Amino acid sequence: MKIAIGSDHTGVDLKALIIKTFDDVDFMDFGPEAKESVDYPDYIEKVARAVQKGECERGIAICGTGIGASITANKVRGIRASLCFNGFMAEMTRKHNDSNVLVLGARVTGEEVALYIVEKWLYTGYEGGRHQRRLDKISSIENREIGGD
63 is catalytic: yes
Q: Is 40 an interacting residue with respect to ligand RB5 (CB under 6 A)?
A: yes
Give CA angle at 72 (2, 140), nearest 5°: 85
Query: Taking CB under 6 A as the rule, which mask of x and - marks residues 111-130 in contact with ligand RB5?
Result: --------------------
Please report the sign of the dihedral spanned by the C-alpha atoms of residue 122, residue 37, residue 74, residue 93: positive
Q: Is 59 an interacting residue with respect to ligand RB5 (CB under 6 A)?
A: no
3-state secondary structure of 71: helix
56 is catalytic: no
Tell me how many residues contact ligand RB5 (CB under 6 A).
8
**How far is Cα 54 from Cα 105, in angstroms, rounded to an integer?**
25
Please list, in sequence order, all residues whose beta carbon lies within 8 angstroms of the beta carbon of residue 116, skipping any fewer than 6 positions away: 86, 87
Q: Is 8 an interacting residue with respect to ligand RB5 (CB under 6 A)?
A: yes
Catalytic center residues:
63, 96
Question: Which stretches of the chain bind ligand RB5, using CB under 6 A?
Answer: 8, 10, 40, 63-65, 67-68
